[in-house]
Structure 1
């Protein structure tokens, strides 16, 4: 329909959660970027033998990954659960779903129980204000579940930021958040969902445009079966790792495919804390043969941001100059240009 003459009468597309994957929303957005995407219905469900505890945990973890984070990272303008309130028998209904769950369960005596959807929707409805826009953030989890940290971030109209984070794993995971030159670390229990907020403070950072590394290739030493390409695939849920303790001489090298101007390089080691380079050198080359060093430094955390204003090069190399028992990982290398 969006490819037909009728498209001019269509504002966009509504999705439900009962089949498929939220990434389908991004595929549709890429095909029709001028059309809206709304996520308008989802419900938890239970089987006849499920305990309330099983229903709550399973619903919370699935909805957190798929609805709270998954839909919003894939262009949804709205998130809605169905139903708002049900009785203890899952009703009233007229021949519809009798295993669905709601945000609230109302007992015969009027008592109210908050269900998992109350919290998964609550992280958005309480902290993400009307008129907010989603802003870029690095997510390591996938809607298909890979046991990592997944997240989504929003900028509210008053300039404040809301970051919603879900731990897909059953075990606790520790992650780092970096905003400008400020960072913090947090350990999130297994399966948990948490929101972090901070107010607008002073002037916002100068806008930067990420340079898409389309067609870029990478090599590494140690080679580790050709996984170097995972550091330039634009997906933080994949990574290159050294597969051995850190030592000087290890490197990852990128061919951008063409001479490219950039002002900043982000070296993101992902969410496995401790596998950042203890010491590093960033070098550049026009031909892949003659190199010159841009910056050297000491790693202090998972994300290292290197300012190299006005640099132009086709090839980049990040070399390890330190020693550590931990492996060295690079989930993403990102280039930015000042606007």
Structure 2
């Protein structure tokens, strides 16, 4: 899970204030700013008026050209993350800061592990022990204690939240080595494994946490040496998906399956699954630990009928600064992933403790969206990167065309919300720069400090049908 991404923590008292009511005139844009020195942390600025002149390069917004529709932005309530939040005296404050669209950043997406991951307090699945092909022992009792209560609380805070589920390993008795660590799924157990995944989706749905999306293996090209995982070839994954999807439909579940769920450095695996699984797979899921976001476009351009989801990226604590983290994640996740067709942006753990855990056999300096030590809470760079999207870009928004600039310029991505508002997310990867934003024949100027991230939102002047070009 270790990556070159670096995160620096912020002070717990620097949480954003709720924005004003969205009564935004078509003549001006509202602005929220996060600066590299942390003096502004998703803080609302004064409105900027269209027609105010300005100078510098021009970002042109064209909402007649529309791309993918967005599903959500978020992270994972792993076993470790849920443990940390659930046992904090600030639990409700944390959950509101994360999921409440008014007082917090309104996260709208969860990627939930099916059983233990590396960020767990123990090794477990939902059917451990001797072989149990009829799944008579299946139970999600482990999650009832502190994971599901947080998942359902998140949904109550943001009813528009969607949930994806992903396994790190099948139960040991289904695997070639009879161990949660290493090995692979026995082909003879594909039937049992797919039934296990259906049972999970049913159980979570019954508990008030419906599973909208699922992948069948986290990082199938990586066999972790110290925590649950298993190798899975593209052909075996296709066979699993072709067995699983009909079972889900027979059970009355509309859960959509995503293939791959691994890094940007391999485009052949997701294309193989997209081809072999056909209509049984909705598309592919992606991580940040190798390659770059353009791989998503490679697959989209080859298979435009298949969705792209970005589903995991963890930062790490190091000697680098909040500014480095804001720049890397803003460039590659908030902007890079979405400009390359991602319908979601997902970091990894929602909350880790001061020792970067609990963790088993894996990254010992990873960071979460928040750091939670009992009643002490710090919101990290992920919080603000996600917040610049999740607080303003509604589920169902369409990414629209915006002119972009390379390294050293103003990176940006734009969206049109279902309510007609336009959202522009911009990141300055150079020194302080003046630039202009042009929309429908009008423009405004702005000066963005070096390393800063900003979200601009304004009301579009009337409904426009636009041209959907994908997603």
TM-score range, shorter chain: 0.5 to 0.7
Unaligned runs of 5+ in 2: 1-271
In 2, Cα distance between the equivalents of 1:102 and 1:208?
Answer: 38
Contact 1:22 1:74 in 2 (8 A): yes
Superposition deviation, residue 107 in structure 1:
2.5
Q: If you compute each CA radius of gyration, which structure gives the higher value, 1 or 2?
A: 1
CA distance, structure 2, for counterparts of residue 4 and residue 156 of structure 1: 32
- Cα contact 2:420–2:463 (8 A) shared by 1: no
1:125 equivalent in structure 2: 390
1:125-204 to 2 correspondences below 5 Å? 125-141=390-406, 146-169=407-430, 171-204=431-464
Q: 1:97 aligns with which of 363, 376, 379?
A: 363
Is the CA contact 2:334–2:389 (under 8 Å) kept in the aligned structure 1?
Answer: yes
Aligned residue for 1:223?
none
Find the residue that maps to 1:24 and give its secondary structure: helix
Moved over 6 A (4+): none
- Whole-angstrom distance in 1 between the partners of 2:291 and 2:468: 32
- The separation in 1 between residues aligned to 2:467 and 2:360, in whole angstroms, is 53
Change over 3 Å in CA distance of 1:131–1:3 after alignment to 2? closer
In structure 2, how many angstroms separate the alpha carbons of the residues matched to 1:90 and 1:55?
17
CA–CA distance in 1 between the matches of 2:327 and 2:356? 21
Higher relative contact order (CA closer than 8 Å, sequence separation 6+): 2
Q: Secondary structure at the match of 1:79?
A: strand
Preserved contact between residue 133 and residue 154 of structure 1 (Cα < 8 Å): yes
Question: Contact 1:84 / 1:103 at 8 angstroms: preserved in 2?
Answer: yes
State the shift of 1:58 in Å.
1.6
Which protein is richer in helix relative to its size?
A: 2
Match of 1:17 among 282, 288, 299: 288
Cα distance, 1:209–1:130 mapped onto 2, change above 3 Å: closer
Q: Measured at CA, do residues 209 and 134 of structure 1 come closer, stay the same or move farther in structure 2, by a change above 3 Å?
A: closer
Does the CA contact (< 8 Å) of 2:274 and 2:306 recur in 1?
no
**How far apart in 2 are the matches of 1:111 and 1:46?**
18
- SS at structure 1 position matched to 2:311: strand
Partner of 1:325: none
Q: C-alpha displacement at 1:112, in angstroms?
A: 1.0
Determine the C-alpha separation between the residues in 1 that align with 2:371 and 2:415.
Answer: 30
Distance in 1 of aligned mates of 2:466 and 2:361: 53
Q: Is the 8 A contact 1:45 1:59 kept in 2?
A: no
> Given that residues 40 and 81 in structure 1 are in contact (C-alpha distance below 8 angstroms), is that contact kept between their aligned partners in structure 2?
yes
Residue 88 (structure 1) aligned with residue 359 (structure 2): no
TM-score, L = length of structure 1:
0.56
Change (3 A) 1:208 1:97: closer
RMSD: 1.9
Q: Note if contact 2:314-2:366 (Cα within 8 Å) is conserved in structure 1.
A: yes
Structure 2 counterparts to residues 1-339 of structure 1, below 5 A: 1-2=272-273, 4-47=275-318, 50=319, 54-108=320-374, 110-141=375-406, 146-169=407-430, 171-204=431-464, 207=466
* Residue of structure 2 in register with 1:319 after alignment: none
C-alpha offsets along residues 246-275 of structure 1, whole Å, 9 cap, x if unaligned? xxxxxxxxxxxxxxxxxxxxxxxxxxxxxx
Q: Distance in 2 between matches of 1:21 and 1:98?
A: 24
Q: Distance in 1 between matches of 2:368 and 2:274?
A: 36
Report the count of equivalent residues: 198
Gaps of at least 5 residues in structure 1 are 211-339
Q: Residues 58 and 209 from structure 1, CA distance in 2 versus in 1: closer, same or farther, beyond 3 angstroms?
A: closer
